[in-house]
Amino acid sequence: MQRDTLEKQIIEHNVELVRAIYVGPDGITRGKAFRPSSLNEILESGLGLTQAQASVTVFDHLPPESEFQPVGEVRIRPDLDTFQVLPYLPGHARMLSDIETIDGQPWELCPRSLLKTFLNQLSAKGMVIRAAFENEFTIFINENGEWQPLDQLNCFSSAAMDLASPYILPIIAALEKQGVMVEKYYPEAGHGQHEIPVRHQPGMQAADQQVVFRETVRGTALANNFRVSFMPKPAPETAGNGCHIHFSLWDSDCERNLFYDAGGEYGLSQTARHFMAGILSHLPALMAFTAPTTNSYSRFVERCWSSCYVCWGPDNREATVRAASGFRGRESATVNLEYKPSDPTCNPYLALSSLICAGLDGIENELNPGEPVLTDPALLSPQERERRGLTRYPIDLAAALSALEQDDVLRDGLGVRRVTDYVTMKRAEIEMIDSLGKDAEQQAYLFRF
């Protein structure tokens, strides 16, 4: 966007505050807002931020073991192209931001800059990733001072659509005003659970769109006196909130889907198979970024559509990676892979970077994903699962973090300093939740994302 177009929009919409936001490694969208009169200087040199923000937990606790402590400064550098007037909050606009060093270089721990390096690696191989984050979320309404799920109706139920319409339509309108293309809407199986799938986008736009999505859903709810939660498993007895990542690789002109091969089994190319094999082989470590909260692991129960055994399968909705069949007549454009063990608390830049890192390892080493699983793996006997190597997901975040520490490809690919800091921060988060007791997860994750 041109600077003068942006200035015009600020005047036209009476913008009082422009926020420069980034997503911290903890997954929370944070930022600082500035008055429009400071626009030029902030676009030039950014806003000040302590490096320690890379290490704070969702409780804003800075672990003493972290490398980054209160001395040391970086800059929040807003990206002009992401400027949006917030349709749900009069007087506000936002820009997504990178974190830079004081002298204007990408900061080693900036998640958005990390994704740029992985997108460049793909581009050096003549490839572009297109992706869509598919969020499920829980709508809460206030009943006698208590926040309660909106409904207890059925998955895909038409009655739930009637009931939720006043909540869903303002969200769709606000997303579309910002250029997010909403493709579908449906009530989901959990109490108060709904889903709004959006159009896939090339790499950076896909991750940016996920930030805009979460911000818009949460902000629109607040503006309309209801609330939403992106917590992975808000109630143990009903379905969890996933955020499956659909993706495909394309040639550099985005004209040919490199995951599609008309002659391949299930329409899949070798590239798709190698990429998928990379994901499966780095899975426990990958989950440290895609299922990043203690609560994330409550989601992975058998027969809850969330997947919990490491495997792939064509149109298998209980597999880690579902090879999604193409739509008749549009196969070459629509065949894609769906990665299931991710939820909406993930930092989308770290999640997508780690998926690409694992997938590229699969391509470079020509890994084989093994036999597809053609049933719900939970229906196989334990002996059969063992024979086929269908291991269960890590039981908790601590196990995923240990796997990450031991995964050379992800550790080196994402950077040892980043991974060390992340693991330290997340371990402090686990410790805090353990020490707070029963309601700690609700406190930590219900309304913070």
**Considering CB distances under 5 to 8 angstroms, the limit depending on partner class, which of ligand GLU, Mg ion, none binds residue 240?**
ligand GLU
HSE toward the beta carbon, residue 328, CA cutoff 13 A: 0
| Nearest distance from C-beta of residue 446 to ligand GLU, angstroms | 16
Which are the contacts of 315, defined by CB distance < 8 A and separation ≥ 6? 322, 323, 324, 325
Which residue, 51 or 306, has its beta carbon nearer to ligand GLU? Answer: 306
**Considering CB distances under 5 to 8 angstroms, the limit depending on partner class, which of Mg ion, ligand GLU, none binds residue 177?**
none
Q: How many residues bind Mg ion (CB under 5 A)?
A: 1
Q: Is 261 in the site for Mg ion (CB under 5 A)?
A: no
Give the residue among 342, 137, 356 at the shortest CA–CA distance from 243. 342
| Nearest distance from C-beta of residue 219 to ligand GLU, angstroms | 23
**Considering CB distances under 5 to 8 angstroms, the limit depending on partner class, which of ligand GLU, Mg ion, none binds residue 305?**
ligand GLU
**Considering CB distances under 5 to 8 angstroms, the limit depending on partner class, which of ligand GLU, Mg ion, none binds residue 100?**
none
Residue 30: what are its φ and ψ, rounded to 5°?
Answer: -130, 170
d(CA 276, CA 337): 8
Which residue, 240 or 284, has its beta carbon nearer to ligand GLU? Answer: 240
Between helix 270-281 and helix 283-290 the angle, nearest 10°, is 80
Which residue, 269 or 342, has its beta carbon nearer to Mg ion? Answer: 342
Which are the contacts of 418, defined by CB distance < 8 A and separation ≥ 6? 25, 108, 109, 114
- Helix (H) / strand (E) element for 97: namely strand 92-100
Site residues for Mg ion, window 192-221 (CB under 5 A)?
A: 195
| Nearest distance from C-beta of residue 328 to ligand GLU, angstroms | 21
**Considering CB distances under 5 to 8 angstroms, the limit depending on partner class, which of ligand GLU, Mg ion, none binds residue 318?**
none
| Nearest distance from C-beta of residue 410 to Mg ion, angstroms | 27
Q: Which amino acid is at 407?
A: D
Residue located via tokens 């196969």: 331
Which residue, 218 or 299, has its beta carbon nearer to ligand GLU? Answer: 299
d(CA 356, CA 339): 12
Residue 183 C-alpha from the chain's centroid: 18
Give the residue among 134, 137, 217, 213 at the shortest CA–CA distance from 171. 217
- Helix (H) / strand (E) element for 273: namely helix 270-281
| Nearest distance from C-beta of residue 136 to ligand GLU, angstroms | 5
Which residue, 339 or 422, has its beta carbon nearer to ligand GLU? Answer: 339
The one segment of 190-198, 363-371, 374-382, 406-414 that binds Mg ion by CB under 5 A: 190-198
Which residue, 189 or 440, has its beta carbon nearer to Mg ion? Answer: 189
d(CA 343, CA 351): 10
Q: What is the DSSP secondary structure assignment for residue 372, as one 8-state letter?
A: P
Which residue, 192 or 240, has its beta carbon nearer to ligand GLU? Answer: 240
HSE toward the beta carbon, residue 355, CA cutoff 13 A: 32
**Considering CB distances under 5 to 8 angstroms, the limit depending on partner class, which of ligand GLU, Mg ion, none binds residue 239?**
ligand GLU
Angle at 372 (CA atoms; ends 366, 374), nearest 5 degrees: 170
Q: Which residue is nearest to ligand GLU (CB)?
A: 242
Which residue, 188 or 261, has its beta carbon nearer to ligand GLU? Answer: 188
Which are the contacts of 406, defined by CB distance < 8 A and separation ≥ 6? 285
Q: Which residues bind ligand GLU (CB under 6 A)?
A: 136, 188, 239-240, 242, 299, 305-306, 317, 340
Contact positions toward Mg ion, by CB under 5 A?
Answer: 195
